[in-house]
Amino acid sequence: MSPTLDEIAVADPPEAWAAVGFEVCDGVIDVGAVRFGPAGREAGRGVFAVTARELEDEHPDGLPLSLSQSPPREPRAEPTPAGAPRQAFFRLAEVILEVVQAPPGSREERDADAPARFWGLAFGVADLAATAEALGDKLGEPRDAVQEGRRLATLRREAGLSPGIAFMS
């Protein structure tokens, strides 16, 4: 059996996620079978903890990734609302993990001895045009994605979420 994501902890208040169209219930967001826990700004910045089932190695390259002890949840409906030298995609059940090396000289480039980190999240949407209309100026212009035939748009930082967020058709 391959690994499946369980929970992703983000350093944002729940209200920030609700403001961009996510349904927050009892302080958490369920997207498919993955649970997001907005923990507030005091938790740090971006994605600061992730748990997965069937995980062989915890904390690969220093990532805050650990083994989940929670039973799988029933999936819920999804929300409606470049230049990297190396890039790879790994399927973790319904989630696709994208690994990207920051381009030399970019603001994302870090010390080679620094641990790896989670940069952002991408959500699949049925209708990118409807998502763009719902989010208005909080969303950047839709453009072609790396995956052929798909389009994506990124949430602007002004929307108030700390990890990078993209919506993809």
pLDDT tens-digit series, residues 110-136: 666 666 677 788 888 999 999 999 999
- What pLDDT was estimated at residue 78? 41
| Residues 6 or more apart in contact with residue 152 via CB below 8 angstroms | 122, 128, 142, 143, 144, 145, 166, 167, 168, 169
Task: Point out the least confidently predicted range of 77-86, 100-109, 158-167.
Answer: 77-86
Q: How far apart are CA 16 and CA 18, in angstroms?
A: 5
pLDDT-above-70 percentage for the chain:
75
pTM summary value: 0.78
